[in-house]
Every structure is written in structure tokens, then in C-alpha cells.
């Protein structure tokens, strides 16, 4: 009776190693790569193509910092063939400036302690109700401060005059970049830890900062309103980043089949910048953009 020949995974050709790895989920593949230098090297190109072909970052200081770190990585510059780059332009669905009371009623005011739960029966006196509100405000205040800090960080980044140049530096590292644009997700959806497959830059830090208790809603049941002014700021920064780059962008998207990321009729660009951007986009083969002309949606 012939005995079976044992073949080491390390001894297999690169093509077979990559074929085997293609059946693994990301955590298992990452663990396998860390188990052996040979397997790490053999699977690097395919791993990069699968998980870094498309990169998405949240418009926060941490999101752009991680993008810059990725762009400066020698491994990424040499091996990774990044073709798509996306920005999530809003946090908290673009609903900025919530008061403490509004924050308490929002999904982000819901914590593990359920601070929004009434402290007494409904037939309590007005004075007792006021005391209850004061206690609820005090309990929600630390979370509200975090919400305000994240919102301020987000807006400061989008309104920064240096964001375009920072994106340009990143774009220059991704030599095979073909598609750029905006992606839209409700922050409530991204914070739901059941969405384990999301690997967006800046997301782990956002989840660490915000104590969010899922309401067990699916994405389809979450309603949010995209603010055209915020989207316009984000798009203008992306376009400025492309303005002096050498890549020939073939696709630009601010919307997708399942979302609408409306922008204002006019972008915050000078005439010179606008004309230069138009020349840069001369190689576009695909454009998906929605423009909002409803005055109520612009602010």
C-alpha cells in the first residue's frame, strides 16, 4: 500500500499558495502570513491586490494620518497596486451643532447605561422632571463632549487649506490610481461592531472614542441626510489633490447605486483651480455626480 507524500505549504509554488490563500478570510490570511517569512513573501502581492486595491478613509485627522502613513510605506509604494481611493466625507450624518438635548435623543446619546431612560413615573411633577433632565444631561455630558470634539476635528480637516496638498502627496504614491470619489455611510452604521468586515482608515479610532449601543438596525432602516456643503468641501479637496498629480483618473464618483452624495452647484475653488481641474479630468470615462439645487439642502 503506497503511503501519502507529505508536502509542506512552504514548498508549494507561489501560484498554489496564493490560490489556497484566496479561500481564506482576511483574519485567517493575516494570521497565516505572520506564521512564516516565506509564506508572508509568497502571498504579499495577492494579499495587497485583494485588500489594498481599494482604500477608503474617514474625513478625520486620524483617517488622513493613516492614509499618509500607508502612502509612505515602502511596501505599499513598491508592491501595492492601489486603483481606487474613497473618502467618507461626513461624520454623524453631517448633522452638526446638535444641542445637548438633541444629542441625548440621537442614536449617539444612547450608551450602555441607557442614560435616556426616564428616571421616574410619568405623573411626576414638573420640578421632578426638571431634576431628571438635569441628571440625564450630567450623565450624557462626557459623551457629548466627545461628539463635539470629533465634529470639530472633522470640520477643521475639511476646511483646512492644506488638505488638498496632503492628498496630493498620497495620490503621488499610488501610481496605478484610476478612480477617486466619495462614499457615504451613516456613522451609526459604521459604529455597529457587527460590521466586522469594514476596514476603513480611521474607523477603529472612531469606534474607540464613541460609546455606541446598537439599536439592532440594518443599514436599510437607517435614514440620514447628506449635507451638500460638506460634500462640496470634501470633493474640492480631492480635486485639488489630483490637480498636480501625474495619474490619469478614469472615474470620479460622489454617488453610488445605494446612496446620493449631493454637492452644491458651485465648489469652493478659485477660477484658476477650477479650470486646472477640468483639464486634469480630461481622461474621465465614468462620472457619477449629483448636484443639489434645493436651497434648504445646501446648509
Question: Are 27 and 61 part of one and the same domain?
Answer: no
Number of domains in the chain: 2
Task: Split the chain (299 residues) into runs of 10 and give each run's mean pLDDT.
Answer: 67 81 76 81 75 89 94 73 89 86 82 50 58 70 91 93 91 88 86 76 90 56 60 90 84 78 81 87 88 60
Q: Which residues contact 294 (CB under 8 A, 6 or more apart)?
A: none
Question: Are 60 and 173 part of one and the same domain?
Answer: yes
44 within some domain: yes
Question: Are 255 and 119 part of one and the same domain?
Answer: yes
Q: Are 168 and 244 spatial neighbours (Cβ–Cβ below 8 Å)?
A: yes
Question: Are 29 and 177 part of one and the same domain?
Answer: no
Residue 268 pLDDT:
85
Residue 131 pLDDT:
61
Question: Are 35 and 173 part of one and the same domain?
Answer: no
Write out pLDDT tens, residues 221-246. Answer: 444 445 788 888 899 999 999 887 77
229 within some domain: yes
Question: Are 26 and 110 part of one and the same domain?
Answer: no
221 within some domain: yes
4 within some domain: no
Residue 15 domain boundaries? 10-51
Residue 224 pLDDT:
45
Question: Are 45 and 106 part of one and the same domain?
Answer: no
Q: Which of 278, 227, 272 is nearest to 252 (CA)?
A: 278
Question: Are 126 and 185 part of one and the same domain?
Answer: yes
Question: Are 256 and 168 part of one and the same domain?
Answer: yes
157 within some domain: yes
1 within some domain: no
Question: Are 25 and 128 part of one and the same domain?
Answer: no
Residue 88 pLDDT:
93
Q: Which residues contact 267 (CB under 8 A, 6 or more apart)?
A: 232, 235, 236, 239, 274
Residue 295 pLDDT:
57
Question: Are 98 and 216 part of one and the same domain?
Answer: yes
Amino acid at each position: 500500500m503506497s503511503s501519502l507524500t507529505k508536502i509542506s505549504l512552504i514548498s508549494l509554488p507561489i501560484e498554489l499558495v496564493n490560490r489556497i490563500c484566496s479561500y481564506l478570510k482576511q483574519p485567517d490570511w493575516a494570521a497565516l502570513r505572520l506564521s512564516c517569512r516565506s509564506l508572508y513573501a509568497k502571498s504579499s502581492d495577492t494579499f495587497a491586490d485583494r485588500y489594498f486595491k481599494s482604500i477608503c478613509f474617514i474625513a478625520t485627522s486620524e483617517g488622513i494620518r493613516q492614509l499618509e502613513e500607508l502612502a509612505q510605506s515602502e511596501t505599499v509604494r513598491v508592491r501595492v497596486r492601489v486603483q481606487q481611493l474613497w473618502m467618507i466625507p461626513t461624520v454623524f450624518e453631517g448633522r452638526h451643532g446638535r444641542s445637548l438635548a438633541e444629542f441625548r435623543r440621537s442614536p449617539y446619546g444612547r450608551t450602555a447605561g441607557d442614560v435616556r431612560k426616564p428616571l421616574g413615573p410619568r405623573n411626576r411633577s414638573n420640578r421632578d422632571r426638571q431634576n431628571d433632565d438635569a441628571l440625564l444631561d450630567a450623565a450624557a455630558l462626557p459623551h457629548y463632549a466627545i461628539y463635539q470634539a470629533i465634529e470639530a476635528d472633522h470640520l477643521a480637516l475639511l476646511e483646512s487649506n492644506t488638505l488638498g496638498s496632503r492628498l496630493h502627496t498620497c495620490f503621488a504614491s499610488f501610481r496605478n490610481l484610476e478612480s477617486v470619489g466619495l462614499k457615504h455611510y451613516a456613522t451609526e452604521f459604521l459604529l455597529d461592531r457587527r460590521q466586522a468586515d469594514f476596514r476603513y482608515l480611521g474607523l477603529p479610532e472612531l469606534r474607540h472614542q464613541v460609546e455606541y449601543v446598537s439599536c439592532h438596525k440594518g443599514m436599510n432602516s437607517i435614514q440620514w441626510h447628506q449635507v451638500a456643503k460638506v460634500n462640496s468641501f470634501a470633493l474640492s479637496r480631492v480635486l485639488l489633490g489630483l490637480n498636480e498629480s501625474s495619474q490619469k483618473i478614469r472615474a470620479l464618483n460622489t454617488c453610488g447605486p445605494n446612496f446620493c452624495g449631493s454637492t452644491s452647484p458651485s465648489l469652493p475653488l478659485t477660477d484658476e483651480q477650477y479650470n486646472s481641474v477640468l483639464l486634469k479630468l480630461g481622461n474621465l470615462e465614468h462620472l457619477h455626480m449629483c448636484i443639489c439645487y434645493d436651497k434648504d439642502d445646501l446648509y
